[in-house]
Structure formats: structure tokens, C-alpha cells
Amino acid sequence: MNELLVFARRRAVLALCLFVAGCGGGGGPEGGPPAVGVSVAEVMTRPIVEWDEFTGRIQAVNTVQLQPRITGYLDAVHFAEGAVVEQGDLLFTIDDREYRAAVASQRADVVRAETRVELAQQDLDRSEKLVAAKAVSIEELEQRRGEVKQAQADLNSARAALDSAELNLEFTRVTAPIAGRVGEALIRPGNLVTPNGSVLTTLVSIDPIHVVFEGDERIYLKYQARAASGERPSSRDVPNPVQVGLASDADFPFRGHMDFVDNQVDPATGTIQGRALIDNPDGYLIPGLFARVRLLGSNEYDALMIHEAAVMTDQDRKYVYVVTPDNAAVRRDVELGREADGLRVVSSGLEAGERIVVNGVRKVFFSGAPVIPTIVPMNDPTQTAQAPSSTPEG
């Protein structure tokens, strides 16, 4: 019984093999699998510039907290909150009556001191004439000279006190130390303000403006290596270009350049801070905004470029199918770089001019499969194909 069952199975297998062999007569070369039609494109060589992307924040170049330099009652606010002001514009006034009175008193002291100097000088002049006639002793003459010096010192002290009083009077007018946008008036008229204890408002500069961002150790070491090899200058030495976009921007419409790289890596975060300077003539960028930053990553070089549609993934490996001269699709592992102009940079694995499958990749079930290639542009693999090239013999 068992022998009959084994015999029947063998006959079934033999029949199936004969059937498959008969059906395969119209297939690929030497009776292999049939060739499939695919779109292929040549690996492109294109000059590109690499850009590295970061996230950062917009920051004012200058930020000032305005505080009073004297004690007094706030008299008036002279600006519209949130307005743009110029350097020197009057922002606040403090009650100045006490300080004007102090200036008047000090001016009177200066006049008295000047009068004493004149009288002392006259006494000295007379004593010098009389000493020759021996009508005045040498001791009295020296006393008159000392009185002149004392009177002159008193005059200098009075003038210094007047300068201080006039300076305090000037401080009753709080002006903008820089041009920029002023914030809210934090203290209203009628309140007492004191030095180092009262913040009147904040003022931030507008144009230009900074964008601050951080990069990790890997990117820093990459830049150092490229600077050493001459592939890219260091941002410490050269104002490398920077492009900036906001959260609402699809691209990077703002242009600027690097103006600072920190002198150490933060051991807590493993990052180093960089800063760029951006033109902001219309004041559109304001401090605190989130920013997307692109920093020049390399000088221009010729890169191999392929379309993303050609790339397949096998676990952690990327590969493409290269079409050989006899129209066989052979697997080739590749290392890819960043995206540029809608294409991917190929770091290794391909050579310029090689043909790869860009459309119909999933029809190729194994390396070495025969294909019927039609040529399409690499940057537009869905474009209508050109006339097909010659098919493999068989």
C-alpha cells in the first residue's frame, strides 16, 4: 500500500515538472523567467552645496532694561507702548523740581568760590609788591599764597558739585540708549522710582537680529575636520552663510551669516552654541520666535545624485538595481547622503553614468533578473519614457 502511494506521488511530481518546463519555453534567456519592463535612468553628477539644519530661537542683538539713575516720582511717559523709537528719544520724565533747585544752589556756591579766589589773588598781588619794600614779611607772603591755593581748591570742589547736580537733573529725563522697539511701561506716573530697584520698561534692537542655535559634538567635529582639510572654512574665521525660516515658512527666506561660535561644548547637553546675524529691516523677526536654521555644510562639489524612488531597503541596508549592458538588474548596496534638489546624494556604491532602475523596482524579484529598460530622466522618473533599448537575446 505504501509503495503504491510513493509511486503515485513520484508520478505527480514528474508531471508537474514536465508541465512547468513546457510552459517556460517562451520565457527569458535559455528558458529562464520572462524579462519585465522597467524605467531606468543614468546616475547624475551635479555640483551641489551641502546645508546642515538646526533649530534655534530669534534673539535681539541688544536688550536693555531701563532703570532710573535717581530717586524721584515718575512724572510722565512719553512713548506709545510697543512702538519703535530712535536712540535719544525721550521715554520718561521724573519730577525735577528738587534737582533744579540743587543746580541753582551749586551755581551760587561756584560764584562764591570764584569771588574768594579773586580776593585771595588780589591780596597775594599786594603782598608781593610790599615784600620788596620790606613792608610785608616773607611769612605773610607765604600765607597769602596758601590762601589762593585753598580758594582755588574750593572753587574746583564747587564746580564738581555743580557738574554732579546738573547730571542728576539730566537723569530726570530717561531717553532711549539704543534704537529699537520699546515694551510696556512697567511703572506709571505718580509712583516713586529708585535706582537699581525699579525697571521702567525694556527695549530691544530690531535690525539686525540674532538667531541662536546649538549643534552636537558630531557636527562640530565634522566642521573642524573639514576646516582642517580645506573643504569648508570655520565659522570662527569666516562669516559662513546662514538661511533661516520660521514655523510658518515652507523654505528659508531670510539670509544672514555666522558671527559667533562658543568656546566650549556644554558637558550637560553635549552641544555647542552658534549664532548668526540676520538682516531685519522691516522688523518682521522678533525675539523669542522659533527658527529653522540652515548652515553651510560644505563648499560646492560634484555629487552623484539619484532619485529616492530607486532606493530599496533591506533591514538596515539601502540598495538599488543597476542595469548591466546585457539588461540584467543587479543589486548594488549604496550609502546615501542628504537630499538636494529633490534627489539623494550617493556617498558610495555607484559611479556616474551607470543605469539604475527608478520605476518598476518591485517587479525585480532577484538580483540578475532580466529587464526591458526604457530611459527616463533621473529627476522625473514618471515622465513618459523614451524608446526602449534593445532587449536581451533569447
CATH for 216:
2.40.30.170
pLDDT higher than 90, residue 189: yes
- The confidence score (pLDDT) of residue 23 equals 44
pLDDT higher than 50, residue 171: yes
81-130 pLDDT, tens digit per residue, is 999 999 999 999 999 999 999 999 999 999 999 999 999 888 877 777 77
In terms of domains, do 82 and 182 share one?
A: yes
In terms of domains, do 35 and 165 share one?
A: no
Q: How far apart are CA 246 and CA 57, in angstroms?
A: 10
- The confidence score (pLDDT) of residue 9 equals 47
In terms of domains, do 125 and 143 share one?
A: yes
In terms of domains, do 70 and 200 share one?
A: yes
pLDDT higher than 70, residue 240: yes
In terms of domains, do 387 and 263 share one?
A: no
Which domain covers residue 198, as residue numbers? 63-94+177-204
Average of per-residue pLDDT across 163-168: 96
- The confidence score (pLDDT) of residue 148 equals 87
In terms of domains, do 333 and 354 share one?
A: yes
Q: What is the pTM of this model?
A: 0.68
321-378 pLDDT, tens digit per residue, is 999 999 999 999 999 888 877 788 898 889 988 999 998 888 888 888 999 998 998 8
Contact 377, 40 (CB under 8 A): no
In terms of domains, do 225 and 272 share one?
A: yes
As a whole-number percent, the residues of the chain with pLDDT over 70 amount to 88
Q: Say if 56 falls within a structural domain.
A: yes
Average of per-residue pLDDT across 248-260: 94
pLDDT higher than 60, residue 154: yes
Q: Say if 67 falls within a structural domain.
A: yes
Q: Say if 16 falls within a structural domain.
A: no
Q: How far apart are CA 29 and CA 316, in angstroms?
A: 33
Q: How far apart are CA 37 and CA 370, in angstroms?
A: 9
Q: How far apart are CA 337 and CA 105, in angstroms?
A: 78
- The confidence score (pLDDT) of residue 142 equals 79
Residue 38's alpha-carbon distances to 45, 171, 212, 347, in angstroms, are 22, 81, 48, 25
CATH code of the domain containing 82:
2.40.50.100
Which of the listed residues 124, 148, 170 is the one where a domain comes to its end? 170
Q: Say if 15 falls within a structural domain.
A: no
Cα 287 from chain centre: 13
Q: Provide CB contacts within 8 A for 205, sequence distance 6+.
A: 60, 61, 62, 63, 178, 179, 180
pLDDT higher than 70, residue 291: yes
Nearest in space to 381 (alpha carbons), one of 48, 47, 43, 50? 43
Least confident span in 283-287, 327-331, 388-392: 388-392
- The confidence score (pLDDT) of residue 30 equals 56
In terms of domains, do 381 and 280 share one?
A: no
Q: Say if 282 falls within a structural domain.
A: yes
In terms of domains, do 320 and 273 share one?
A: no
Q: Provide CB contacts within 8 A for 302, sequence distance 6+.
A: 45, 46, 47, 48
Which of the listed residues 249, 279, 301 is the one where a domain comes to its end? 301
Residue 10's alpha-carbon distances to 5, 7, 14, 230, 281, in angstroms, are 9, 5, 6, 72, 87
Would you put residue 322 in left (φ > 0), alpha (ψ -120 to 50) or beta? Answer: beta
Place of cell 590762601: 147
Please state the domain count of the chain: 4
Nearest in space to 57 (alpha carbons), one of 267, 283, 251, 214? 214
- The confidence score (pLDDT) of residue 182 equals 96
State the first-to-last Cα distance of the chain, in angstroms, to the nearest integer. 47
Q: Say if 122 falls within a structural domain.
A: yes
pLDDT higher than 60, residue 25: no
Average model confidence (pLDDT) for the chain?
86
In terms of domains, do 194 and 77 share one?
A: yes
DSSP element (H, E) containing 152: helix 138-170
56-69 pLDDT, tens digit per residue, is 999 999 999 999 99
In terms of domains, do 271 and 312 share one?
A: no
Least confident span in 45-54, 99-108, 246-255, 278-287: 45-54
In terms of domains, do 322 and 376 share one?
A: yes
